[in-house]
Amino acid sequence: MAMTGPAMRLERIIAPSWSRRLGLPALALVATVAIAAWLAWLAGAAPLTVLGLIVDGAAGSKFALLETLNRATPLIFTGLAVAVAFRARLWNIGAEAQLYAGAVVTVLLGTGAIVLPAPLLLPLIVGAAMLAGAALLLGPALLKTRLGVDEVVTTLLLNFIFLLFVSYLLEGPMKDPMGMGWPKSERLVDAARLPRIAEGLRLHWGFGLALICAAIVWVIQARTTLGYEIRAVGLNARAARFAGVPVNAVILKTAFLSGGLAALAGFSEVAGLKGALTLDLSPGFGYTGIVVAMLALLHPLAVVVSAIFVAGIFVGADSMSRAADVPTYIADLLLAVALLLMVLAIKMTGFRLVRG
């Protein structure tokens, strides 16, 4: 009878070192780049050339860098929304719907319904948009806390329901009568538009607002009682309840914050870039926010870096596709591989393989 060696098993590491916490995710990113090079080779292009074109297309010029930051702006908001919710084990898959909720409110208030100067109108729209996004997530959160309904299902289905609702609005009550048949809303008045960071540049102050939100979320998580309660509920809800933490109330507060942050992505896209609401406002920013949050290990400040990295891949891939005749789908594959490897790296941070 053939002899077999001792089986391998996972052994939990009680206190992983910082080198392990940072080294494994870094190794996952290196492996992602290697796989991207292999995919480029399969597509018939020189791997180093393709990688160089992606980097050049994302940050090789002032225009490219600003486009990357513009693309990163909504991803910072949705990444923060997902990171906040996931930290409390509230699985918010509905950031796409919350984004559109913020965009709808921005158009309703910003197309002349309220006449105010910009310093008063913009904060009003921001607050109303956040309330709309929060309300859209509070429903699934209440179903979770009161009836035990799985929020993954409810938030995911709300994406499709709300997008159909937006389609109805753009074909009916909110349709621009001067839109020449194309389903879009009326354009925002000037007072409801976010100003550019510098004259002649496309980069707008939505990016600045995203950075401020990342800092605020970090302060909440690291320096406040609510942040401590969110972490406690995420680590072990039963133990947190035993220790006196109001678990259901914390989940509802987390839902309010998460939904509001996702709605700001819709506000920034309409008020900062598009000027009007269309059905293709988001090419999946809500879903990509999950990738951004996971790559950032749910850390709010790291979300900014992660969002710029992901945006750079998309912007660089578009430029690379035109220059090297390689399909842009390589960007989608690259992000999928990065997410899978990062999840594996996070898992292995707290475990090691041993024999026996």
**DSSP structure class, residue 17:** -
Greatest pairwise CA separation for the chain in angstroms: 86
Per residue in 275-310, pLDDT (tens digit) is 999 998 998 899 999 989 988 889 999 999 999 988
pLDDT of 70 above 60: yes
How many Cβ atoms are within 10 Å of 304's Cβ, its own excluded? 24
87: left (phi over 0), alpha (psi -120 to 50) or beta: alpha
Quote the pTM value.
0.90
Instruction: Let me know if 231 is exposed, middle or buried by CB neighbors in 10 A (0-12, 13-18, 19+).
Output: middle
How high is the pLDDT of residue 1? 46
pLDDT of 230 above 80: yes
Instruction: In whole angstroms, give the CA distance from residue 166 to residue 181.
Output: 16
Decide: 121 and 58 in contact? Cβ < 8 Å.
no
Decide: 90 and 151 in contact? Cβ < 8 Å.
yes
The percent of residues above 90 in pLDDT, for the chain, comes to: 54
pLDDT of 3 above 60: no
Instruction: In whole angstroms, give the CA distance from residue 260 to residue 274.
Output: 20
pLDDT of 4 above 70: no
pLDDT of 207 above 50: yes
